[in-house]
Structure 1
């Protein structure tokens, strides 16, 4: 579920900016024609922020370069208005399964963790709100739209802790308005992600 490319982005975003959903679901365009992930009705009455502003918050933290180990787990999934034919418990089967990925973070990536986010957010339809990193704590909201008519939505709230060598994040995500038979389906998902620096990057050619 988490590709190596997304794993690197997840490390940088979660460690320094904590956008857990990018790791949890990747880009949802391939699975329901929705934009990138998000959570709990992010923007209602909140302060909108640009990608550049979020990047500024991210760059307050400098990660330690080296080999990082990241673990992601979906802790709860709730489905309403499931389409006819969807196997009972199909989504719930994801709960409790952990994905563990190791990734080398270079000095350049560690120095500018927002760079990959800025590149990845160029064409998405996401809004950010109340994103803050201070005193080892991070919180924020993200809402995205997608689909041919823009009716598909994903909203996420995020809270957690971070340091230069580790992170621990919880995210809540809600989706609705997917395409086709799932157009009336709504899904609420909770996930937990952790990461830690485990040493120096292996030499080229060595197994990670």
Structure 2
């Protein structure tokens, strides 16, 4: 779950690029490298600085959950801050997109055009798979999107969770 949240954050960092589908090799899957290449080709990158990410769980539906647990966690908000350094921006989008994923995620589709993002990402791990659809808006200093994740894990097979995510630049990185 933590890796998937990081993947949501990484997607939010793809602020400001434009273009259509990015399946350059035609294999039916948009790799992190393909999505990063498309973003870099657009010549636009997120601005370095201190960012605040707020992720709010908006729904949860896990088959077999006891009635008293239905909806448990909906409304739970996690807020973190992170520094996106100039060095990280200079390394390119692929490194940012892979952060925290251990190569477990790839896009089925990824479209970012005129500040509007639509994407489907699939993450596979030893604990099971998750397929996440995302839609929202991005700029070089912010993103605001929703995501719905379908789960295929032993404990949550056929379950789903939905999130709202907001990233915003709040200033310069703190001095070291």
1:117 pairs with 91, 97, 101, which one? Answer: 97
CA offsets 1:34-56 (integer angstroms, 9 cap, x no match) = xxxxxxxxxxxx94223321222
Distance 1:196 1:101 in 2: 11
Please give the secondary structure, in 1, of the residue aligned with 2:62. Answer: strand
Deviation at 1:123, TM superposition (A): 4.0
Give 1:101 deviation, angstroms.
0.8
**Distance in 2 between residues matched to 1:132 and 1:119, nearest whole Å:** 20
Look up the match of 1:186.
Answer: 158
Matched, 1:66 2:64: no
Quote the Cα distance in structure 2 between the aligned partners of 1:49 and 1:157: 14
* Structure 1 residue 96 corresponds to structure 2 residue 94: no
Structure 1 length-normalised TM = 0.65
Which residue number corresponds to residue 49 of structure 1?
30
Calculate the TM-score normalised by the size of structure 2: 0.76
1:80-159 correspondence runs (5 A): 80=63, 82=64, 87-90=66-69, 92-111=71-90, 112-118=92-98, 120-121=100-101, 123-124=103-104, 126-147=105-126, 152-159=128-135
Deviation at 1:113, TM superposition (A): 2.8
1:139-192 superposed Cα distances (whole Å, 9 cap, x missing partner)? 1112234448xxx331111111100111001111111241xxx37x42111101
Measured after TM superposition, the shift of residue 122 of structure 1 is 5.2
CA distance in 2, matches of 1:133, 1:104: 24
1:16 to 6, 14, 17: 14
Match for residue 136 of structure 2? 160
The alignment status of 1:77 with 2:57, answered yes or no, reads no
Separation in 2, partners of 1:66, 1:127 = 27
Structure 1 residues without counterparts, runs of 5 or longer: 18-45
Aligned pair count?
Answer: 161
Alignment partners' CA distance in 2, 1:91 and 1:65: 40
Shift of 1:69: 0.8
| 1:197 maps to 2:169 | yes
The equivalent residue for 1:172 is 148
